Every structure is written in C-alpha cells, then in structure tokens.
Amino acid sequence: LVSVGMASPLSPPSMAQVDALLQSCSSFSHIKQIHAHLVVSGLFQTCPSARTKLIELCAISPLGNLPHALAMFSRIPRPTTNDWNAALRGLAQGDDPVAAVSLFAHMARLGSPRPDALTCSFAVRACARANALRASAQLHARVLRSGFAADVRLQTTLVDSYAKGGDLGSSEGVFDEMAVRDVPTWNALINGFAAGSRPRDALVLFRRMRSCAMCAPDVVTVLGVLSACAQLGDLAEGESVRDYAQEAGLVDAHVRVRNALMDMYAKCGSVDRAVEVFRGTANAARSLVSWNTIIMALALHGHGARALQLFDEMTSSGGVRPDAVTYLAVLSGCNHGGLVEDGLRIFRSMRQEPVLSNVKHYGCVVDMLGRAGRLREAYAVVATMPLPPDVVLWQTLLGACKTHGDVALAEHVSRQLFEMGSHGDGDYVLLSNVYAAEERWADVGRVRAAMAERDVRKVPGFSCIQVGGAVHRFLNGGLGEHGRWREIQRALEEMRARVRALGYAPETARNVLHDVVEEDREEALWQHSERLA
C-alpha cells in the first residue's frame, strides 16, 4: 500500500490513490488488502464511490471472488444504487443468474434506493440467462413505467435477452419501438434471428441496417449474417456479405470472420472455396476453430483423405494442438472415406493425448469398423470403452449387423438395447430384417409380436431438402402429399428408366421388409424419402 504514494499506512487515502490501488491490483490478496485498508480508514462506509469500485472489481474481475464481493455488499447498512448494481452485475454474469433475479426482486421490494437503467439492464440479462421469461416481461413493464424507454443500452439488452430466451416476437417488438438504435441493437436482433431459426429475416434486417447511414455493420453483424447464409445454403447472399466484409477490412482483421466464411462455403456446398479461405490465412493466424472448421467441412463432404492430410499437417506444424472436436472431425472423415486403418491410428493416438474423448468418438470408430464388416472389432471397442455406451452406439452396431448379416451379434446387441429401455421401432425392424434375410420366419414373427405387445409402431422415415431457402419435407411413400408430386413422379420414372438401362438392380432382398411381394419391395425403394428429396 505504501508503494503507491500514501503518506502513511494509517492516513486516509485520497480517491486518486484508491483508483491507483485498484488499477494496480494483480491478485485477490491485493483486493483483500485494499478492502481492509478502506475499512480501517473509514472510507468503506463514508466514500461510496471507492466502495462501489472495490465491490465491482471483486465481483467481475478474474482476480476477484464473487462470494467475497457479496459479503462486502452485505455489510453496507444502506447500499447506494451503484452498490446494488455492482453486486447485481457480478451475479448476472456468474454461475447463478437466478440469484441475480432474486437480488433485484429484493431491491424492488425495499423501494429505496430506486433501480436505475443500469440496474434494470443487469436484471434483464440475468432473466435471460436464467430463462425467467415471466420475470423478463415484468421487468420490461417496469422499464416502461420508470421512463427508461429512451435508454438505448437498456432497450438493446431487452432485445438481446428476449431473443436469447427464444421470444423473437417480443425481441422484434422492442426493436421496432426504439426511436434510436445503435450497432449493438441491430446486432442483437440479427444474431437472434440467425440463432432462432429465422435466418431469412436476419438477411432482410442486415439489408435494412446497411441502408442506415449511422450504423455500419461490424464484425459481430457479419458473423451473424454469415451464419444465416450457411443455414440457408445461400451462396450468392453469402458472397455478397463476404464482399462487404472485405471492403470494410473485416476479413483481414478478424480470423473469426474467415472461420465463418469457411463454414458458410462448406454448408453451401462450395468446399473448395472454403479451402481457399483457409489456405489464404497465414499459418500463425489460424486458430483451433480454423483447423476444426476446414477439417470437418472436408469430412462431411466425403473428402476423407484431404481431411486426414490437413490433420497430419496440423499436428506436424507444432502450433495449434488438436482438441476433441478436431479428432471427431478427422475420425468422421476416415469413417465416410473408408480409411479404416488411418482412423484406427488416429483413434489410438487420441487416447494417448490429454484429450477428453466422448461417446461420439467411439461411435465414429464403431461405425467405421461396422461399415467395413469388422463387426467383432467394433463390438470389442464398445465392450472395452471407458465410458458407458449409449443407445445410439448400440443401434449403430445393430445396423452394421443387419448390413452384414451377423445374426448372433444382432441378437446380443438387441438384448443390450432392450435392457437399456430402448424400444424404438427401428430396433425391432432391424432385428426383424436380420432374421428375414436368413429366412428365420418364426423369429420374424416373434419380433413382430413383441412390437404389437408393446404397442411399438413403425414411424415413417422422412427426409428434408432446402431449395431456395424453402425446406421441403418428404415421408417414405408420401409423395402425394407434396404440392409438386406430379413433376417429382415424372423425374423418378425418368431416373428409373435411365439407371435400369445402365444395369441397375435394386437390392430389395436386404433393404425392404420381407413380407411383401417383389414388385412392392421395389416400389418401396423408389418411394424412399431420401430418393424423393
């Protein structure tokens, strides 16, 4: 304390000295020393501004300790509004936002001091994090009654909080009622639309924002809009956003924008453009997200060998180390690319790294071995994994048993599923088809009887495809429900004729239920939802 220029350890410090102490704070121990000195000197009670700064530092700084800040707050006989705000801010961004909502309610009940716009802002954010929608609505009403409707920061917090709570209608309503909006206001609603399954509205709002001379879109805007383009698969709109970002200098300045561009290109089907963006980023500027995004993009587009090559490049560069997401991406690439030995090599290396593996990594390996027909190895992975296998993992193995006709293992896997309480229609149908492929009709009947006894009904599968921003949904055998079914039917007939001329013969024996005649089996394949889409 003496080192910052105080006359003596016992003399009351000036506000300038207190500010210097707080700014030079480098540990929680220092915070406690300053607290003790303010208490001894009497400033903790007589100088509210110094006290508030100390509580806020302790509540929100990485050096601080929220329980200690709340303990300091509790010892103030008559806290000021700023004291309440400091404690409320710490709780609102901490691990227990419900406590912040409760603290605000307690302040409101006391009636004095009165909450100000900043108090309401912290309380609104806490309500959003606590998913307290009713409390948010009550706070909104209080904001209007208290005359804070002109406070742009508070109104922006309301827009953001409603959006993050899933109430986009109320978020949009607050936005539309605002007389003045700043860039964070636009960003709150654009990102709310992008994250809330209204990506087209995010793009419309982005165009409105660009026409507003006072609010130029920034990096946060661009990230939200690129996410919307990725969801829509709208490459033309995505490249328009890229052009704006380049002109504004955001692409070169922010690796997050380049990562979002890679993601957008990949989800719009232009994976080579995604690779161009990655290659155009200096190695030193590539973040872990950069590597993960491009490796996953290649994996999902079936470029397993290229994904593997990039993974090896990443690990040999000596820079960014792979994490659990990286390993999942490259394992997915090996899985879909049939690179079994490479996948096993990576899986073994992952288990030697300090990477927290999860059931998805094991699921990838089980699926990869299952596709290759190495069912016993796949089962060994499940049986020896350090995590409890979930239902999806066993279902993956059961699907492989059906594909490769392993009846004994299919029966064992089915027992595991039933013991876990899984009674999905797919489990029964897969086991039934395994039996039917071996012409074990009595066992087929037993499985069907078990389905009837448990009232398990086969739910028709469905597939979705997005065209021009519109999502089209098809059920298996449900072509007649689509508005353009006649056009689709003609296209299917043309496809059928062309592939037959090339020698195509449908695998009806394995892919369709076995208690229907051959003609109906083939028709069922042609009416499969993926084919319709």
- What is the per-residue pLDDT for 439? 81
pLDDT in tens, 404-455: 999 999 999 999 988 888 877 888 888 888 888 888 888 888 888 888 877 7
Say how many residues make up the chain: 533
Please report, in angstroms and rounded to a whole number, the separation of the first and last CA atoms in the chain: 72
Task: Please name the residues in contact with 167: beta carbons below 8 A apart, sequence gap of 6 or more.
Answer: 133, 136
- pLDDT beyond 80 at 475: no
pTM: 0.80
* pLDDT grade for 51, boundaries at 50, 70 and 90: very high
The arithmetic mean of pLDDT across residues 332-355, rounded, is 92
The number of beta carbons lying within 10 Å of the beta carbon of residue 424 is 14
Q: Given the DSSP bridges, would you call strands 462-467 and 470-475 parallel, antiparallel or unpaired?
A: antiparallel
Report how far residue 320's alpha carbon sits from residue 314's, in angstroms, rounded to the nearest whole number: 7
Q: Are 136 and 128 in contact (CB under 8 A)?
A: yes
DSSP string, 292-342: HHHHHHHHHTT-HHHHHHHHHHHHHHTSSPP-HHHHHHHHHHHHHHT-HHH
Q: How confident is the model at residue 6 (pLDDT cuts 50, 70, 90)?
A: very low
pLDDT of the residue at 507:
62
Whether pLDDT at 394 is above 80: yes
Residues 309-336: pLDDT tens digits?
Answer: 999 999 998 889 999 999 999 999 999 9
* Closest of 31, 26, 29 to residue 50, by C-alpha: 31
Least trusted range by pLDDT, from 145-159, 237-251, 321-335: 145-159
- Other C-beta atoms closer than 10 Å to the C-beta of 143 total 23
* Contacts (Cβ under 8 Å, ≥6 apart) of 474: 462, 463, 464, 465, 482, 529, 532, 533
